[in-house]
Amino acid sequence: MAEKSNAPRRKSRREFLRKLGTTGAVSIAGTSLLFAGSKTGNSDKTPGSKVKMLDQNNRLVEADVSQVSPVSVKIDAGYLNKKGRKGLPGRKFVMVVDLARCRNARKCMKACQGAHQLRPEQHHINVLEMYDEENGASYFMPKPCQHCDNPNCVTVCPVDATFKREDGIVLIDNERCIGCRFCIAACPYSARTFNWAEPKDAEKYKDVPYDMELNVPQKKGTVTKCAFSADRLREGKLPYCVSACPNGVYYFGDENEDLVTNGTTRETVRLSKLLKQNASYTLMPELGTKPRVYYLPPRRS
């Protein structure tokens, strides 16, 4: 195996990734406070200081600290499962990948693998070097799950283990998955990967309750794939890959708002204008899968 030969050189980096992965899991483990405001820690309880929290419609709102009492919700598997299948009402998530900005930094891949307990060869997002023209220059293309509106992978699933939510995200319930790998065969974008062996650090994640939106802990013999970081979206944060990019490749947002936010520059722009002004396209539209990930061409005119 080619991988083995350069293993020592990459060890330290892996060690780091492993640590990152653990922190991701620990923060969701056990009990956690429902409103995001509690995260800032030092917010005192004197009237007048504000906290940010999600209201019933999952909109981020500010409220006075004196008006909310921190409700500690036991995050058990049942709660996570129900929440994971529901989705965020009134949202339609989209991603725009600006290929002209991609410099193959691969921070997105690292952040993703760290957050989702993935082995180095498992990719929820994979940066590919593409050669569209034999004589043309190559370019780099990050390829996450396209979260299609007509997802063939979901069509073929025999047990409803993978499903589409009302906010457009295609998720996997790895407690339901029987490991038939039909979805892997059906996906034309090769977006799915399988846990052939015991997942990375399985022992550490043993007692962590399963969070469908994070798809952690991973389980042996089940399929895993990009979830648009649904766990982060619920907190009003951008996906792991989007916020890790140093080059401003990713825009992410809600189609209903017609706004997308760049993960690096934090610049928020109109989705419709961004797509129109930059000759956007989707991957293999001829297959009729209707992807929710748009690409802006690799060269600026």
Partner 1 sequence: MKNYILLIFFVLNFGFVVNAQEWTVPAEEAEKVSPYIFEDDFVTDGEILYENSCTSCHGTPTENNFMPFSPPPGDPASEQFQSQPDGALFYKIQKGRGIMPVFENILAEEEIWSLIAYFRSFNKEYVQPEFDYGDEVLSELKFDLDFDENIDKLVVKVFSDGEVEEGIDVSAFVVGMFGKFPLGKTKTNELGLAYLDVDPSLPGDKQGNLDILVRVRKGYAIEKATTSMKIAEPAQQTSLIEGRHLWSTGDKAPVWLLVTFLLIVVGIWGVILYIIFGLFRLKKIG
Partner 2 sequence: MAGIHKSEVTISQSGKMEHDLLRTVNWNGRFKLWMGFLSLLLLVCLYFYYLQLRDGLSVTGMHDIVSWGIYISNFVFFIAVSLIGMLISSVLGMIGYKWIKPISRIAEIIAVAFALVAGLVIITDMGRPDRLQHLVMYGRIQSPIVWDITIVITYVVLSLLLLYLPLIPDIALCNKKLTGLPAFQRRLYKILSLGWADKPGQFKVIKRYFRILLIMIIPVALAIHTVTSWLFAMTLRPGWDSPIFGPYFVSGAFVAGCAAVIIAMYFFQKNYKLQEYITNRHFDLMGKLLVLVSLVYVYFNINEIIVPAYKFKPFEVEHIGNLFYGHDSALFWMVQTGGLIIPFLLLMIPKMRKPLPITIISVVILVAAWFKRYLIVVPTQLTPYYPIQNVPERYHSYTPTIAEIAITVASFVLVLMIITILSKLFPIIPVWEMKEENENQKQ
Of 173, 156, 149, the residue nearest 223 (C-alpha)? 173
Residues in the chain: 301
Interactions with partner 1, residue window 204-243 (CB under 8 A): 236-238, 243
How far is Cα 130 from Cα 141, in angstroms, rounded to an integer? 7
Is residue 260 within 8 Å of 271, Cβ to Cβ? yes
> In this chain, which of 116, 123, 143, 165 binds partner 1, going by CB under 8 A?
165
CB under 8 A: which stretch of 56-64, 123-131, 176-184, 222-230 binds partner 1? 56-64
> In this chain, which of 40, 66, 104, 138 binds partner 1, going by CB under 8 A?
40
90 near partner 1 (CB under 8 A): yes
How large is the greatest C-alpha to C-alpha distance in the chain, in angstroms? 66
CB under 8 A: which stretch of 18-26, 95-103, 124-132, 203-211 binds partner 2? 124-132
What does the per-residue mask of binding to partner 2 show for 125-144, with x meaning CB under 8 A? -xxxxx------------x-
163 near partner 1 (CB under 8 A): yes
How far is Cα 277 from Cα 251, in angstroms, rounded to an integer? 15
152 near partner 2 (CB under 8 A): yes
32 near partner 1 (CB under 8 A): no
DSSP secondary structure string, 221-282?
T-EEE--TTHHHHHTT---HHHHH-SS--EEEEETTTTEEEETTT--EEEHHHHHHHTT-B-
Of 299, 295, 301, the residue nearest 143 (C-alpha)? 295
Of 290, 255, 231, the residue nearest 96 (C-alpha)? 255
41 near partner 1 (CB under 8 A): yes
> Which among partner 2, partner 1, none contacts residue 284 (Cβ within 5 to 8 A by kind)?
partner 2
Long-range contacts, 13-19 (Cβ 8 Å, 24+): 14/120, 17/110, 17/113, 17/114, 18/114, 18/200, 18/201
> Which among partner 1, partner 2, none contacts residue 253 (Cβ within 5 to 8 A by kind)?
partner 1
CB under 8 A: which stretch of 130-138, 194-202, 263-271, 293-301 binds partner 1? 263-271
> In this chain, which of 124, 192, 200, 292 binds partner 2, going by CB under 8 A?
192
1 near partner 2 (CB under 8 A): yes
Smallest distance from the beta carbon of 117 to partner 2, in angstroms? 15
Q: How far apart are the first and last CA of the chain?
A: 43
201 near partner 1 (CB under 8 A): no
CB under 8 A: which stretch of 11-19, 131-139, 192-200, 214-222 binds partner 1? 11-19
- SS3 call for 296: strand
